[in-house]
Structures are given as structure tokens and as C-alpha cells.
């Protein structure tokens, strides 16, 4: 099911929520263009902070992603669409600068193939492709933690977040729910807030470009609140109420995205039950 079909079905479900994008009728191509533009400021910070070495990770990831998309486009006899550049940039920013290039290639291959192309391409998958690739890196190479993002990187997320929010591609319910989930769980576990601007930078990047991705997030309005709460709560829980590392943020994004369809189905089932009770 692609974005347009799912949006039309969701519009028929009443006030539960509009399909992705949140307020826009943009298709997958427009979604990719806006996300690409939103990732440019963080990419600029990565170039400034990590120098020429970062380009090798970006080059390897780009080559692998485009190669797999070309293969699947040929197999399906469809036009080649380079929307794999979105997870490429996100992964390149989060992957450690010292990661061997074959680790990068293997992780991106898994993310593109298993997280996106086997479902028919971007818009038909249900997990964020970058999240899948980064989760594969975490579980396959446990001795190499993901890059911890700097405060400057956290600030660079703000323009992109505003852009894709204005374009209707992320839900404010997910954003607020995640912040509340992180806050309440941290207070419950550690009786205090997670400290450090660096930790908040990683959480902010993961929230905007991994968890709040309209393809991976819940689609119903009540589901978006629950989804955001789960993401923020799990991040704080895995961090023990302290500063969530990027490994923790990616793990929380993966878990919450896996639960998103279940959350939406539960919301729809509850709505149907109440409707039948009223009219039954």
C-alpha cells in the first residue's frame, strides 16, 4: 500500500487522523525532497566537525544505496528513484567516523533491502530505512558505538524540523508526546532530567529524522500521542533515566516503529467498538 492509497483510506476513518504527510498531499518524491533539504544543515555541521574523512562514509553509503535501488528498479521495471539518499545522509551523520567502510556498506545494504525495497520501495515500507540500517550496525558491531552528536548538531536540527513540520510531514503530537515521555520516565526513574546538551542533541536528531518519519510513525491522532510517549519513554528507560546515547535513541526508534501498526490497529478497533455500541 503506498502513501496516497493509505491516506485516502485513512481520510474515510473520520477524525482519527489524516494520512501521511500530516497536512500535505505531497507524494513520496516531495517527501524525500523536503527531508533532503532538512538534512542539509546537519550535513554541513558534520563536514565542519569531521572533515574530509566523513566524505568517505557518505560516499560509500551513497554508492551502496543507489546501487541497490538501481537493482530493484530494474527488477521491477520501474523508473529509478534515488530516494535512498535520505537514509544515506542520516546514517552517515550518526555512524562513527572510525567505522570501517565495509561495515557502512553492509549496514546500508541491510537497511535499504530489508527496511525498504522488499516492501516495494519508500512509501510502502513501515520502518524508517535509516533506523533499520543503524540498528543493524549496533547489533552486528557492538564494539563500535554510534557517533554522539554535538550541541551544534542539535541546533542544526531546528531549521530542518521547522521545514518538514511546515510541509506537514511530521506531527506535533509525536514531537510533544516524545518530549513528555522522556521527561516523565526520567523523573520516575532518576528523579531528575537527563543532563547534557549533547544527549539532547542526539535525542532531537533521532526524534525528527528517525522516529517522527511519517512512514514509520503512527497514523491516527491518538496513536501519534501514544507513539511519541513510547519513543520518549523507552529512550529514557533504556538510558536508566540518564542521558540517552545514540545507540539508545536508535533502539527506541526501532521499537516504537515496530509497535506503531499495533497502536493504530488498537485505536481503530476501539473506535469501531464505540461506534457499534452507539449504533448497535
H helical segments located in 95-196: 101-115, 129-140, 151-166, 172-190
d(C-alpha 208, C-alpha 166), whole Å? 13
Question: Which range is least confidently modeled, 12-21, 128-137, 154-163, 225-234?
Answer: 12-21
- Residues 197-241: tens digit of each pLDDT: 556 899 999 999 999 998 899 999 999 999 999 999 999 999 887
* Residue reference for cell 529524522: 209
- Residues 92-146: tens digit of each pLDDT: 999 998 899 999 999 999 999 999 988 888 778 889 999 999 999 999 998 889 9
pLDDT at 211: 95
* Residue reference for cell 491518538: 222
H helical segments located in 19-123: 28-50, 53-76, 85-94, 101-115
Whether the Cβ atoms of residue 264 and residue 214 lie closer than 8 Å to each other: no
pTM: 0.85
Number of domains comprising the chain: 1
Write out the three cell numbers for 221: 491522532
How far, in whole angstroms, is CA 156 from its chain's centroid?
17
d(C-alpha 170, C-alpha 164), whole Å? 6
**Domain of 76, in residue numbers:** 3-279
Whether the Cβ atoms of residue 174 and residue 228 lie closer than 8 Å to each other: yes
Pairwise pLDDT comparison (97 vs 192), residue with the higher score: 97
Calculate the average pLDDT of the chain: 85
The rounded percent of the chain whose pLDDT value lies above 90 is 57
pLDDT at 193: 62
Amino acid at each position: 500500500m503506498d502513501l496516497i492509497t493509505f491516506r485516502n483510506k485513512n481520510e474515510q476513518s473520520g477524525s482519527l487522523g489524516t494520512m501521511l504527510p500530516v497536512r500535505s498531499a505531497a507524494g513520496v518524491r516531495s517527501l524525500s525532497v523536503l527531508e533532503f533539504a532538512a538534512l542539509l544543515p546537519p550535513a554541513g555541521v558534520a563536514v565542519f566537525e569531521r572533515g574530509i574523512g566523513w566524505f568517505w562514509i557518505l560516499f560509500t553509503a551513497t554508492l551502496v544505496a543507489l546501487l541497490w535501488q538501481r537493482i530493484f528498479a530494474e527488477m521491477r521495471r520501474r523508473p529509478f528513484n534515488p530516494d535512498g539518499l535520505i537514509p544515506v545522509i542520516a546514517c552517515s551523520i550518526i555512524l562513527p567516523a572510525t567505522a570501517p567502510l565495509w561495515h557502512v556498506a553492509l549496514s546500508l545494504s541491510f537497511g535499504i533491502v530489508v527496511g525498504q525495497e522488499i516492501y516495494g520501495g519508500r512509501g510502502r515500507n513501515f520502518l524508517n530505512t535509516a533506523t533499520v540500517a543503524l540498528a543493524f550496525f549496533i547489533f552486528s558491531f557492538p564494539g563500535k558505538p554510534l557517533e554522539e552528536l554535538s550541541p551544534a548538531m542539535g541546533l542544526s536540527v531546528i531549521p530542518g524540523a521547522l521545514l518538514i513540520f511546515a510541509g506537514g510531514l511530521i506531527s506535533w503530537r509525536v514531537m510533544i508526546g516524545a518530549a513528555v515521555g522522556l521527561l516523565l520516565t526520567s523523573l520516575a526513574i532518576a528523579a531528575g532530567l537527563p543532563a547534557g546538551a549533547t544527549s539532547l542533541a542526539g535525542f532531537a536528531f533521532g526524534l525528527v529524522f528517525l522516529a517522527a518519519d511519517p512512514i514509520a510513525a503512527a497514523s491516527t491522532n491518538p496513536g501519534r500521542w501514544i507513539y511519541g510517549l513510547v519513543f520518549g519513554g523507552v529512550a529514557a528507560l533504556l538510558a536508566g533515566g540518564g542521558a540517552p546515547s545514540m545507540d539508545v535513541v536508535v533502539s527506541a526508534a526501532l521499537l516504537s516503529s515496530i509497535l506503531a501498526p499495533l497502536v493504530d490497529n488498537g485505536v481503530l478497533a476501539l473506535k469501531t467498538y464505540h461506534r457499534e455500541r452507539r449504533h448497535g
